Amino acid sequence: MSKTIFEKIADREIPANIVYEDDACIAFTDAFPLSKGHTLVVPKKPIENIYELDEETGAHIMKVITKVSNAIKEAFEPAGLNVVQNNGEYASQSVFHIHFHLIPRYENEYDGFGYVWEQDPDTRDDEEKKVIEDAIKHQLNV
């Protein structure tokens, strides 16, 4: 299996603007940023998506996401910041190595980022909501 672009960046086979690195993960500015400070946080080991992410790596990467997000906030003072992570082609994952986009948002600046967040048009009654709740709890053994 060939390396992903993110593994190649971590192995210094491809140049990148690295802003943070430790033994487990790396953070670098996006090669095609949506806004000033758009940064990716990536575990070094090859993990395809959230479904394969182990708890230890997930907890560590969340600490790094928080640290880098705060550095972006201090450096550029954005009005907000989106943390975006996609899983699977249908959800717009294009590199099949889990990664988190930190996208600073600035007032009155077009950044090309957007999504539609609309409520599911199929209104679910309380009974159906309970069935959904129970199905998830069953998988969690709760």
Q: Which helix (H) or strand (E) holds 26?
A: strand 25-29
For residues 118 and 38, which has the higher predicted lDDT (pLDDT)?
Answer: 38
| List of residues 6+ apart from 104 with CB closer than 8 A | 35, 36, 37, 38, 72, 73, 76, 78, 80, 81
**Catalytic site includes residue 38:** no
Catalytic residue among 60, 97, 99, 101: 99
pLDDT, tens digit, for every residue of 74-92? 999 999 999 999 999 999 9
pLDDT attached to residue 108? 87
- Cα 108 from Cα 96, distance rounded (Å): 33
pLDDT attached to residue 113? 83
- Cα 101 from Cα 134, distance rounded (Å): 32
pTM, to two decimals: 0.90
Set out the domains of the chain in order of their start, with CATH numbers: 5-114 (3.30.428.10)
